[in-house]
Amino acid sequence: MPILLKFKNLQKLLWLRYQDSNGCGLLEVHEAADWADLLANRFNVLYDNVLWYAALKAMATLADALGKGGAHYTDLASDVRHKLRIVLWVGPENADEWGPTCPGHTEWKHTLSQVDPVLVKRPFFLPYVAFRDYGDYCDVFGNLLALLFGVANAAQETRILDYLYQVGIAEPYPVRVLHPIIHPGNKDWREYYRNNNLNLPEQYHNGGIWPFVGGFYVAVLVKMGQLEQARRQLEKLAEVNRLGVHEEWEFNEWCHGGTGRPMGYPHQAWSAGMYVYAYQCVAGGRVPMFQEKTWSGG
């Protein structure tokens, strides 16, 4: 049975590698095809490729533990991290990635500036880069995962955290998952955002508050040594989870980004689970799993 499971895991990794249709090193993803299932992120998407990096790092650890040698997966993971830093980051914080050992794809250095000369720098990883197009907003969850998994370098970490604080991403509660909000008329607006009245401005993935992502925000603050801020955000996370439409402690799926009032479905395990995890992070002053050597940056 263990051998069968290992084989199936390898098959899944191979299938994922086939999603790199152009051989660039990053996965290509269809529109609205991940957790943000009503958002027009597409092609080289931040969220999916951060998880792809994490999967490769985990596979390297497993292979080493089994005595099979994980260097191959480590090399693949390092290449994904490098590509994320040069494709989805715009600004001087990734200057070191463009050294003499940069493995090809140097056309990426100029692609975005050719699409939009105003795009000089941004204080976050872009949510996606597609054919002569890109998303010009902050996917908060994707950027938080980039911090936790060590995709961001030290300079990028500082820029991202400062930006999230400056725009009040945890107001009224942690956290709004997209900033700035996409309005009708924006190039990234889709008419299907109106489906079931979901993805209107400040709702659902379009700037709504997701308490389970708020748990990741608290974990990031702990990992970055901002313990007092993490404690404050944990208290606010407890407050938003306590809110309910019909009863207290509904642990709602998401809340309105402006009012903070519960929307979506109640009794969500990921909202409850990430609150417990955030509490453990603050209580222990460290982030279980994410502060292990496996997820160190570089």
- Shared domain for 79 and 187, answered yes or no, is no
- The span from the CA of 294 to the CA of 109, in Å, is 29
Residues 120 and 190 placed together within one structural domain of the fold = no
Q: Please, are residues 147 and 223 in contact by the beta-carbon 8 Å criterion?
A: yes
Kindly state whether residues 119 and 213 are assigned to the same domain. no
33 & 79 share domain: yes
Q: Are residues 180 and 264 in the same domain?
A: yes
pLDDT in tens, the chain (298 residues): 444 445 455 556 676 766 777 778 899 999 999 999 999 999 999 999 999 999 999 888 888 888 888 899 999 999 999 999 999 999 999 888 877 767 555 556 656 656 666 778 999 999 999 988 899 999 999 999 999 999 999 999 999 999 999 999 999 999 999 999 999 999 999 999 999 999 999 999 999 999 999 999 999 999 999 999 999 999 999 999 999 999 999 999 999 999 999 999 999 999 999 999 999 999 999 999 876 666 665 6
149 inside domain? no
Tell me if 136 sits within 8 A of 129, measured CB to CB: no
Q: Are residues 175 and 47 in the same domain?
A: no
Find the domain containing 5 and state its range: 1-100+110-135
Cβ pair 159, 144 in contact under 8 A: no
The answer to whether residue 142 is domain-embedded is: no
Contact 29, 45 (CB under 8 A): yes
Q: Which two tokens stand for residue 15?
A: 């299938």
| pTM listed for this prediction | 0.92
| Pair (174, 130) in one structural domain | no
Residue 17: inside a domain, yes or no? yes
CA dihedral 96, 135, 75, 101 (to 10 degrees): -30
Residues 67 and 180 in one domain: no
Domain-located, residue 181: yes
Does 239 map to a domain?
Answer: yes
Same domain, 119 and 173: no
Are 19 and 34 within 8 A, CB to CB?
no
List residues bridging with 263 in a β-sheet.
254
Answer yes or no: is 32 within a domain. yes
154: in domain: no
CA distance 103 to 137: 28
- Are 173 and 210 in contact, with CB atoms under 8 Å apart? no
Count of structural domains within the chain = 2
Instruction: Please check whether residues 121 and 193 belong to one and the same domain.
Output: no
